[in-house]
Structure 1
């Protein structure tokens, strides 16, 4: 019941996919569509392909950011509620210093994203850093902060923000006839 209510609130306020808003979308893997499954079982996953129309550098940076976000937010499996847990959640268990270390690792993800061609635009950099600051601030609250840190997944949010931005850039490159190398 609370999950449904949370999705409704997220859709109304954020007007985004609830997976992105609630931080449950996997930044590194995607579920294989039913028509492509073949012999594989339902729910099988594969790495997300890079958006078309990107330079080699942008593709490399996006892959690196996705990989780091996945390791920090989801790589260790699922807890009893079906929510992915990563190294960031484990590190955040240490009071005070754990939140600072997790924030530093999240900052490293943003810095890796900034290596795209031309760097991140100011509005995107600000959004990404805001996610890191919110995650850090919530992580400072004892016990409750650890649970919120598991749910918020700032790194996955940042990877998805970067992917959305690069997807648009790729579409523009293709429509303008610019095919970066």
Structure 2
């Protein structure tokens, strides 16, 4: 079932554009917004960008998104916020990974193309599997580091 994008969501698209794509580097097609600039301010910049992104997702959610789209949007925000909080690497990542623009694209795909319908069971399953593998690798690495430290003493 194809739905029409609500005019009430136009402001969400404008805020997303401001956060991720407002400015263009002259002579290139590379665009960025105020989100990566805010993230140059330690802690407060990351928190403010995260807050704006969450408000956008929650506003879009009020207009009847499927659980699958909602989870994908939250994953975009969490990934952007988590990696964006890492000094230096995160600052570069913030200029490239534009979670708000990705979320607007998901919203339009949902309403205009009918994509991402249904439950999020498959998406949640992949997330859980990824987390399990990540935790196992992390525990294994910590074990190896602990063995190295014990061997040094």
Flag the structure with larger Rg: 2
CA distance in 2, matches of 1:79, 1:155: 23
Find out whether 1:140 has 2:85 as its counterpart: yes
Matched, 1:156 2:101: yes
1:76/1:130 CA distance change after superposition, 3 Å: same
Runs of 4+ more than 6 Å apart: none
Inter-partner Cα distance in structure 2 for 1:120 and 1:157: 15
- CA shift in 2, pair 1:106/1:80, >3 Å: farther
Q: 1:90 offset after TM fit, Å? A: 1.0
Equivalents in 2 of 1:164, 1:101: separation in Å? 27
Question: Aligned-pair distance for 1:68?
Answer: 1.3
Alignment check: 8 A CA contact 1:91 1:101 kept:
yes
Contact between 1:61 and 1:115, CA under 8 Å: does it hold in 2? Answer: no
Q: TM-score, normalised by structure 2?
A: 0.67
**Unpaired runs of at least 5, structure 1:** 1-51, 170-181
Q: Does 1:94 align with 2:8?
A: no
Of residues 85, 109, 114 in structure 1, which corresponds to 2:56? 109
Task: Give runs of aligned pairs for residues 113-128 of structure 1, distance below 5 A.
Answer: 113-116=60-63, 119-128=64-73
Task: Give CA-to-partner distance per residue, 1:124-177, whole Å, 9 cap, x none.
Answer: 1100000000000011111221110110000000000000000134xxxxxxxx
Question: Is contact 1:73-1:88 (8 Å) kept?
Answer: yes
Aligned residues: 113
Higher helix share: 2
Cα distance in 2, alignment partners of residues 160 and 61 from structure 1: 16
Give me the CA root mean square deviation.
2.0
SS in 1 for 2:62: coil
Contact 1:85 1:150 in 2 (8 A): yes
Report how far residue 79 of structure 1 moved: 6.8
1:83 corresponding residue in structure 2: 30
Q: Please report how far the alpha carbon of residue 109 of structure 1 lies from its aligned counterpart in structure 2 after TM superposition.
A: 1.3
